[in-house]
Amino acid sequence: MPADQLTETRFILADHLVRELTSEFGSPLYVVDEAHMRAKISRYRAAFSAVWPDSELTFATKANSTLALIRIAAQEGCLIDVASEGEFRAALLAGVPANRCHLHGNNKTEQEIAFAVQQGINQIVVDNFEEIETIYRKSSGKTCPDLVIRLAPGVDPKTNAKISTGQADTKFGFNIADGSGEKALLLALSHNLPVVGFHCHVGSQLLDPTAQINGGEALALFAAEMKQKHGFITQVLNVGGGLGIHYHGESRPISVEEYCRNLVEPIARILRAKDLNPKLVQEPGRSLVGESGVTLYRVGVVKTVPSPAKGQRTYLAVDGGLSDNPRPALYGSLYTVLHTPGQPRELVQESTQEYTVSGKHCETDKLFEDVMLPPDVKSGDYLQVLCTGAYNSSMASNYNRYQRPATILIRQNGSYSLVQRNDTYEEMFARESVPSDL
């Protein structure tokens, strides 16, 4: 294993802060470390620009669209990638100018497109033929944003099928192999729309960069072909995101420096051979914020039951679950789970036993199976789950009428700020009404 992978890359909250924060703000509780996130972005930008100076890093807000985190990403030099009008409005509320935002989405509504054009968004990533026509209509008489055409390069990555997006059979973008990508370019150019380049995204949580490299090569070859056939000069080539993070065990990604080098070198060879020199763009989300966040839970019931598979199983129930982290149920996602005693203990247990950490929802709701924790975990203790900065807060729900958790930002000076409070029951029910005749 390379030396730079032997060090701990994940933010871990000290036990005294686990107790302090949960005492003040309750649990479940999301916690994100500002300095850690800024360092991640800075390192990624440096690694990318070192191998391709005309590069641009875009933060994919679908990973975490908390306003304070969007502002941090923008302050660190990222453009902001949004996948809906709601995410775009979040970026604007975070103080990001519209001309620093890119709009994604496979089924953008006319309202979303009209709002983006009206606000002066920097770029729209075009996904289908109908969208080209809609953009043409909505931008008539107005300044049209730059357009980047999303391509499906026919690459099937080694990741969960539910987060694979670059294969031929996908809802995203224009297929290269069947000629749809070329037709999309020609249609947009026939309307005199400002097409500046191409985009692909093959999938998420990629520990092996091969699929991303293959997707980037396909994108570069397509750009070269469009120059040869139609004289189109690609100004922007967006190779998407996807670099994984260290969720659990030994499943670690390569370093961001090695990733950027491996990704860019084959793309660069193709582009330089065809005298093309576009801006290269990456749009990571998880790899910029995922390892910077943790989730804190309070332990409730600890229960041992008979198990045909194991002889017996010990369930450790926490005060959250499916509504604050649906990823284990959706993808079978694994996490690293740490224990914090409810009160400081002089004797630290060095031995461990196996637990299944379960949530409190009306589902099986097995959050984390086969977790090794001290044998004396009891009600009132806390669990800290690492790498929850991405796709936890943004996917949280009110299932079973539970309140979505608050988010705390650990500041660079060691203080902390509440940047997203938990739901109130009044807000939860404010949009509902009961007909008077019921």
| 170, 257: one domain | yes
| 297, 253: one domain | no
Segment 161-209, tens digit of pLDDT: 444 444 556 787 999 999 999 999 999 999 999 999 999 998 878 888 8
Segment 196-252, tens digit of pLDDT: 999 999 887 888 888 889 999 999 999 999 999 999 999 999 999 989 999 998 888
Q: Would residue 75 count as lying in a domain?
A: no
Can you tell me the distance from the alpha carbon of 410 to that of 29, in angstroms, rounded to the nearest whole number? 13
Q: Collect the ranges in the chain with pLDDT lower than 50.
A: 1-5, 157-166
Q: Would residue 42 count as lying in a domain?
A: no
- What stretch of H or E contains 106? none
Can you tell me the distance from the alpha carbon of 36 to that of 10, in angstroms, rounded to the nearest whole number? 8
Residues in Cβ contact with 262 at an 8 Å cutoff, skipping those fewer than 6 apart? 209, 213, 254
**Pick from 152, 115, 153: nearest CA to 134:** 115
What's the DSSP call for residue 118? H
> Three-state DSSP class for 401?
helix
| 328, 344: one domain | yes
**Pick from 438, 364, 337, 419: nearest CA to 37:** 419
What's the DSSP call for residue 311? E
Res 165: pLDDT:
45
Q: Would residue 74 count as lying in a domain?
A: no
Is residue 416 a contact partner of residue 409, using CB atoms and an 8 Å limit?
Answer: yes
Segment 50-63, tens digit of pLDDT: 999 999 999 999 99
| 210, 110: one domain | yes
Q: Would residue 41 count as lying in a domain?
A: no
Looking up residue 258, the CATH number of its domain turns out to be: 3.20.20.10
| 310, 386: one domain | yes
Query: For the chain, what is the radius of gyration of the CA atoms?
Result: 23
Res 181: pLDDT:
95
| 306, 362: one domain | yes
Res 347: pLDDT:
65
- The model's pTM is 0.93
| 200, 242: one domain | yes
Res 5: pLDDT:
47
| 393, 333: one domain | yes
Angle at 403 between CA 399 and CA 406, to 5 degrees: 130
Q: Would residue 129 count as lying in a domain?
A: yes
Q: Would residue 33 count as lying in a domain?
A: no
Distances (CA, A) of 212 to 46, 200, 234, 241, 264: 19, 9, 19, 8, 10
Looking up residue 408, the CATH number of its domain turns out to be: 2.40.37.10
Catalytic residues: 362
Can you tell me the distance from the alpha carbon of 98 to that of 209, in angstroms, rounded to the nearest whole number? 32
Q: Residue 57's beta-bridge partner residues?
A: 282
Which structural domain, as residue segments, surrounds residue 301?
A: 291-430
**Tokens at 153, concatenated:** 């390069």
Given 265, 284, 303, the domain boundary residue is 284
| 136, 195: one domain | yes
Res 419: pLDDT:
98
Q: Is 303 left (phi over 0), alpha (psi -120 to 50) or beta?
A: beta
Res 223: pLDDT:
97
Q: Would residue 335 count as lying in a domain?
A: yes
Given 226, 257, 284, the domain boundary residue is 284
| 269, 357: one domain | no
Res 140: pLDDT:
76
Is residue 27 a contact partner of residue 298, using CB atoms and an 8 Å limit?
Answer: yes
| 268, 384: one domain | no
Give the number of domains in the chain: 2
Given 238, 257, 284, the domain boundary residue is 284
Can you tell me the distance from the alpha carbon of 291 to that of 283, in angstroms, rounded to the nearest whole number? 17
Q: Would residue 76 count as lying in a domain?
A: no
| 109, 233: one domain | yes
Res 168: pLDDT:
55
